[in-house]
Amino acid sequence: MQLEHRVAIITGAGRGIGQAIALAYAKEGAKLALVARTLSELEETAQQAKALGAEVLVIPTDIADQTQVDEMVRRTVDHYVTVDILVNNAGIHGPVGPLQDTDISHWIRAFQVNVFGTVLCCQAVLPVMLQQNRGKIINMTGGGVGLVSGTAYRTAYNASKAAIIRLTEDLPLELADKNIQVNVMGPGSHRTRLVEEMLEGVAAAGVTQRFEEVRQQMFEQVVAKFGTSAAVSMEQATGLAVFLGSDASGNLSGRCFESFDDFLALPPKIPEIMASDTYTLRRVEPK
């Protein structure tokens, strides 16, 4: 029970990866505050988590709305007294297609949810974590290949996720000696509703063939770098989320991990990782 008695807020918990993380946390003994916009989906996740023995609080919230986010954290603290873990999983894909053809309002909405939603949730929980001198924040990058290569026709989504990676690197510098760790994870490529919406957008934009060519090149780069496919199991993704939320991750902070990384081998390497640029967003200089 790696997360026993820990209070975890999980956004985007109504379906897909967020739901899978919530159930994995339930199995590990966490007390859950489940957050998403759709109440019916949250209730379904809550029912499954309760069947696993978890205490669950359901809070419908639009994370792009500061008032709703502040109220969500207030309700969590009123119910559980504290917040130990924040999983910023909620996100949308945004516009798909050539940049010149995309609607800027859809770009703005992608950043409102993916970036500003993450920032608002961090802002709201940090006073609680600072008061108790303890906390874990887990942010979410793209489908497991955020640091490998770019992808055509997904500029809004990819740019928003790159911003989250940099936020994750910067925030720990402000939290030095506060015992609050902030990391980002790529959950891998899973057939979630977000992916279905992305593929529908690709088809609607008429760029299916070119997109598939680019995606194949991206997957080949993943295999070359990691020796594995980008399509990891959901258990690998939830395992990484449990690791980053638990004491096993120690003072590991400001780093980006993919679900196909061997996170079980990371603990002995944490001092070395924290003393280097490993698992960070950096420019590669030519030799």
Residues catalogued as catalytic: 157
The residue whose two tokens read 């290569």 is 149
- As a whole number of angstroms, the distance between CA 261 and CA 185 comes to 10
Instruction: Output the 3-class SS for the chain.
Output: CCCCCCEEEEECCCCHHHHHHHHHHHHCCCEEEEEECCHHHHHHHHHHHHHCCCCEEEEECCCCCHHHHHHHHHHHHHHHCCCCEEEECCCCCCCCCCHHHCCHHHHHHHHHHHHHHHHHHHHHHHHHHHHHCCEEEEEECCCCCCCCCCCCCCHHHHHHHHHHHHHHHHHHHHCCCCCEEEEEEECCCCCCHHHHHHHHHHHHHCCHHHHHHHHHHHHHHHHHHHCCCCCCCHHHHHHHHHHHHCHHHCCCCCCEEECCCCHHHCHHHHHHHHCCCCCCCCCCCCC
Check: CB of residue 24 under 8 Å from CB of residue 50.
Answer: no
